[in-house]
């Protein structure tokens, strides 16, 4: 076991040592916990962390808000740190349902504006104003709930998560699986290399696309990478191990070449489906405008995911884990290293 993992203890009171400086800054434990999470997992700096947090009475269960302009998403955080023996108990669905209830108050621009004006939390009101949350919701940004806890997930939590794809849980197991200390540079470098190799595969597939303007558009590779991650996060893709591995398999024997080879069929499936989407919608799809819409991106993601599942069922494409396992026994051709001219 990695020596870092042996020191990683989320039970109470051991977790207080993990929070360290976050708690020493005068934050109460739950606020220190979400601050540690945002800096450790979202890689926000200290100022960004303080700006994102709104943990006080009357905050409607919202402990922090983060806006991703790249993915056009609004991440709404709920956080609960359990103390003493309760930290070992399985998390049910009660806290997750409370966060889901909060998300309904951000279902559209009017609802978000009502939340902003009615909240008793001045911190939450100012945060929503500064981030222009109602406006972004109106523009189609996707709202996702992120619940963070030091408990392991239980059966009822898993059932609720399965029926609510806009809700994500960082429980003790997921926090452990994805933990990477900020000063541990080598795995970070491996992940950068892995993403570079995957990006080359994406550009290679886009170079074969009939719709050259769309293929060469600067945002298209990012769209493909986003859709690829969405597919790899599905259970049937066999890609969860790749997403959770600290080096994204690059540190394994012949990892770079095997990764590029194994991810290729899934990337091809994404690009082919994007081509079908363009043909289906024709000139009505203004990609330079529509790709800035969170609602449109979500629509494309749903179609690509459905198509991918059909491809798996018909064995047109195999799960990533099967491709990876077999790549250890075959001779892999040199990888594409070119670039597409981007607008």
> Do 262 and 327 meet the contact criterion of CB atoms below 8 Å apart?
yes
> Do 88 and 153 meet the contact criterion of CB atoms below 8 Å apart?
no
- Residues 194 and 198: their CA atoms lie apart, in Å, by 6
* 6, burial (CB in 10 Å: exposed 0-12, middle 13-18, buried 19+): exposed
Quick one: average pLDDT of 46-55? 84
Quick one: average pLDDT of 185-202? 81
Q: Give the range among 68-72, 219-223, 249-253, 285-289 with minimum mean pLDDT.
A: 68-72
Q: What is the pLDDT of residue 335?
A: 47
* Domains identified in the chain and CATH numbers: 3-177 (3.40.1350), 185-327 (no CATH)
Q: What is the pLDDT of residue 185?
A: 47
Q: What is the pLDDT of residue 284?
A: 86
Q: Give the range among 17-31, 179-193, 260-274, 327-341 with minimum mean pLDDT.
A: 327-341
Residue of 177 and 120 predicted with greater confidence? 120
- Residues 180 and 185: their CA atoms lie apart, in Å, by 9
Where does residue 52 fall: left (phi above 0), alpha (psi -120 to 50 degrees), or beta otherwise? alpha
Taking the model in full, what pTM does it have? 0.59
Residues 6+ apart with CB under 8 A from 143: 73, 74, 76, 103, 106, 107, 137, 166
Q: What does pLDDT average to over the chain?
A: 84
β-bridge pairing 64-68 and 167-170? unpaired
Residues 6+ apart with CB under 8 A from 294: 72, 73, 139, 140, 141, 142
Q: How many Cβ atoms from other residues are within 10 Å of residue 216's Cβ?
A: 16
- The H or E element spanning position 215 is helix 212-216
């Amino acid at each position: 076991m990695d020596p870092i993992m042996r020191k990683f203890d989320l039970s109470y009171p051991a977790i207080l040592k993990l929070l360290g400086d976050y708690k020493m800054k005068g934050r109460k434990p739950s606020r220190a916990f979400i601050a540690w999470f945002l800096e450790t997992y979202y890689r926000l700096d200290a100022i960004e962390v303080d700006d994102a947090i709104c943990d006080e009475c009357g905050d409607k269960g919202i402990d922090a808000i983060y806006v991703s302009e790249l993915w056009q998403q609004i991440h709404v955080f709920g956080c609960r740190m359990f103390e003493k023996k309760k930290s070992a108990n399985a998390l049910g669905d009660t806290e997750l349902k409370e966060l889901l209830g909060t998300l309904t108050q951000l279902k559209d621009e009017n609802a978000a504006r009502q939340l902003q004006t009615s909240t008793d939390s001045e911190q939450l009101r100012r945060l929503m104003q500064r981030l222009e949350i109602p406006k972004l919701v109106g523009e189609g940004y996707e709202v996702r709930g992120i619940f963070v806890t030091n408990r392991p997930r239980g059966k009822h939590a898993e059932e609720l998560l399965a029926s609510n794809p806009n809700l994500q849980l960082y429980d003790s197991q997921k926090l452990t699986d994805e933990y990477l200390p900020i000063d541990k540079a080598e795995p970070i470098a491996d992940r950068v290399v892995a993403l570079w190799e995957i990006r080359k595969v994406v550009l290679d597939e886009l170079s074969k696309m009939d719709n050259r303007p769309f293929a060469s558009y600067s945002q298209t590779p990012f769209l493909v990478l986003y859709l690829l991650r969405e597919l790899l996060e599905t259970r049937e893709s066999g890609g969860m191990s790749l997403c959770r591995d600290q080096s994204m398999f690059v540190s394994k024997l012949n990892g770079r070449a095997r990764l590029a080879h194994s991810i290729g069929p899934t990337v091809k499936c994404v690009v082919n489906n994007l081509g079908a989407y363009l043909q289906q919608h024709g000139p009505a799809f203004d990609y330079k405008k529509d790709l800035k819409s969170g609602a449109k991106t979500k629509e494309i993601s749903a179609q690509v995911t459905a198509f991918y599942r059909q491809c798996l069922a018909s064995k047109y494409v195999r799960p990533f884990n099967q491709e990876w396992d077999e790549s250890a026994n075959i001779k892999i051709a040199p990888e594409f290293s070119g670039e597409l001219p981007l607008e």
